[in-house]
Each structure stands twice: as C-alpha cells, then as structure tokens.
Amino acid sequence: MRTIQYLNRVYRNDPNSGAFVIDVKLEKYAYAFNEWDGAYFKRRDLDPDLAHFLNLCSEEIPFRYRIAIEFTVNEEHNPKMERLLRTSLKNYFANRMEAEKRILGRISRRILRFVALGALALLIAAVIEPLVPPNPLGGLLSEGFFIGGWVFFWEALSAGTFQRPERRKLMRAFKRFYQSDIRFAYTDVDLPDFEVDDDHEVGDSVQREGIDATRQTRQKKERIGDGVELKKSSTVTVSVDRVLAHRER
C-alpha cells in the first residue's frame, strides 16, 4: 500500500494503460544523446545522466507495473528528431539487453567451471589423503586440495546467488524500457515556464537598469578620468520615475 501511494505521489499514472509516466525535461533533442559519441543518432548512446536517471526511476517502480517515458522538449516540434530519438532509445535498450545476455552466459559458464574444478579438487584430496606420508608436508598437500575445492564451490555459489540475479534484474529493467511507450510534449519556447510577480518584475528591471547605469558611469570615468565628478545618470532617474508611476496606477 505504501508503495502505490508513493508512486502516485511521485509519478503520473496513465489512466488508459495504467503505466507510470517518467517525465524527462529536454532543452533540445540532442541533449538526450551522449555528446562524446560521434555515431549517427540511431546508434548513438544515451547521455549518461539521462540513463542514470531512468535506471533510478526503474528501481523505484516495481516490475509488476508498466512504465512510459514522456519527453517535454523546449524546442519546436520536429517529427524527424522524434523518430530518431525513439529509435535510438529502442536500440540502446536492445543493445543493453544483448550485453546482459552475454554477461549471463559468461556467468553460467563460470559457475560450471568452478563446480567442475571444485569437484576435481575434492576428488584429488580424497584420493591422495591415504597415500600422502603422515608429515606436515603431506597434510598440507591434502588440506590444500580440500580447501581449494570448497573455495571453488563457494565461488560458484556466489556467482549463482549474487551476480546472476543482479544481471537478470538489469535485463528485466532494460526489457521493460524497450517495451515502454515513448511520448513527446512541447513547451512554448517564447514564454517562461513560471509566472512572474509584477512587483518583482519591476524591481528586477530597476536593478538591471541600475547596474547598466553604474557600468556606463564607470566607463565614462575611465574615459574622462577619476578626478572628474560625474552627475547621476539619467537612466536611474528615468527608471525610478517609471516604477513610481507604475505603482501609482
């Protein structure tokens, strides 16, 4: 119950598909790709920060729930870039799934190799135990094979218990991303994303114009000389009169 309450508070839920939507803000389409990768967009890797963010979201959302990715782009609608980004995402997750499959295959082969070496070491220890002379060297040889056999078995158990489940979990996450719905939304590039209070807006304009007037005064002093006293800039007077008139209205 706590999990679904947390998910509903953090993520939007699509009423049609029931998927939890991961919202991603992009200033430009190209920001979703790795800037160091010079490959074509369809084969280019994702930006590392974006990939890390998606993995964190996937860890929060249990596998029994579907997910969707919605990119809010602060750029003009470009259908070609939409297709490229969607294709690049699918290729990225498909390649990651294939990489995890190869890693799982190597782990499985390593487990079999460790089990075979462990069994062989224990067999040798059992065979030579009655044959070695009863001295420290013979005991060390026999105990060495016994210990080595159990170490190999422990490595096989560790790989099968810890490494393999973790890789299978990653592969499930990439598969869910590959099957997810990828959407695009757009913001008005000409308007800010927040509302500005009138008083704050006027105050900011006064501060900016005051800074401009100070910069102009400093430049005049540099041209004329520090010994000449200048009158107050008319820019500040005009901006203050403008603020007073605005507040009276």
pLDDT tens-digit profile of 86-123? 988 999 999 999 999 999 999 999 999 999 999 999 99
Asked whether the predicted pLDDT for residue 191 surpasses 90, the reply is: no
Please report which confidence band the pLDDT of residue 37 belongs to, taking 50, 70 and 90 as the band edges: low
Confidence of residue 197 (pLDDT cuts 50, 70, 90): very low
Write the single-letter amino acid at 139: G
The whole-model pTM stands at 0.65
Q: Does residue 134 register a pLDDT over 80?
A: no
Domain spans of the chain? 2-186, 198-248
Q: Which comes out higher in pLDDT, residue 145 or 70?
A: 70
Most confident option among 29-33, 45-49, 82-86, 128-132: 82-86
Average pLDDT for 170-193? 82
* Predicted pLDDT at 53: 94
Residue 107's nearest CA partner among 165, 152, 153 is 165
- Mean pLDDT computed over every residue of the chain: 78
- In angstroms, the CA 98 to CA 49 distance is 22
Query: Cβ-count burial of 146 within 10 angstroms (0-12 exposed, 13-18 middle, 19+ buried)?
Result: middle
Confidence of residue 175 (pLDDT cuts 50, 70, 90): very high
> Mean per-residue pLDDT for 220-231?
44
Task: Spell out the SS3 assignment of the chain.
Answer: CHHHHHHHHHCEECCCCCCEEEEEEECCHHHHECCCCCCCHHHCCECHHHHHHHHHHHHHCCCCCCEEEEEEECCCCCHHHHHHHHHHHHHHHHHHHHHHHHHHHHHHHHHHHHHHHHHHHHHHHHHHCCCCCCCHHHHHHHHHHHHHHHHHHHHHHHHHHHHHHHHHHHHHHHHHHHCCEEEEEECCCCCCCCCCCHHHHHHHHHHHHHHHHHHHHHHHHHHHCCCCCCCCCHHHHHHHHHHHHHHHC
How much is the pLDDT for 223?
45
pLDDT at 188: 65
pLDDT band at 39 (very low <50, low <70, confident <90, very high): low
Q: What is the mean pLDDT of residues 9-31?
A: 91
Contact between residue 41 and residue 92 where contact means Cβ atoms under 8 Å apart = no
Task: Give the mean model confidence (pLDDT) for residues 8-25.
Answer: 92
Which of the two residues, 169 and 238, has the higher pLDDT score? 169
